Amino acid sequence: MRKNIWKWGLFILLLAPVMTACKDDDEDDYNFRNDPHITQTVESRYPGAQIVEVERTYQGYEVQMWLNNREVDMHLDLNYQWLYTEFEDIAWTSVPEVVVNSFT
């Protein structure tokens, strides 16, 4: 009896990661990337930007794109309105003086 319980316990432990694995949602990205509302918002805000990936977030959408050879993340609300943009690499010389002074 104990042997069978041990075997079932081991089986469940080995099977648990498979049963709880997250779904890879990369295939759903295609629909968002081709959404005309998203492409129109990106094109109006950043002409020439190339959309790399679009993810659905709790606030709306996160659009990862290439702009001027840099990676940029633009965030939109559920109504496709621009919220803010994150620039990955900003040159220290382009940071406003007020921000530089606050760091020093």
Q: What is the pLDDT of residues 30-80, one digit of tens each?
A: 577 788 899 999 999 999 999 999 999 888 999 999 988 888 999 999 999
**Any domain includes 58:** yes
**Any domain includes 13:** no
The total of structural domains in the chain comes to: 1
**Any domain includes 9:** no
Backbone φ and ψ of 77, nearest 5°:
-85, -175
Spatial distance between the Cα atoms of 78 and 65, rounded to a whole number of angstroms: 19
Spatial distance between the Cα atoms of 1 and 91, rounded to a whole number of angstroms: 68
Q: Is the pLDDT of residue 18 over 70?
A: no
- pTM, two decimals, is 0.59
**Any domain includes 56:** yes
CATH number of 85's domain = 3.30.505
**Any domain includes 11:** no
**Residue 57: domain span:** 24-103
Q: Is the pLDDT of residue 104 over 80?
A: no
**Any domain includes 7:** no
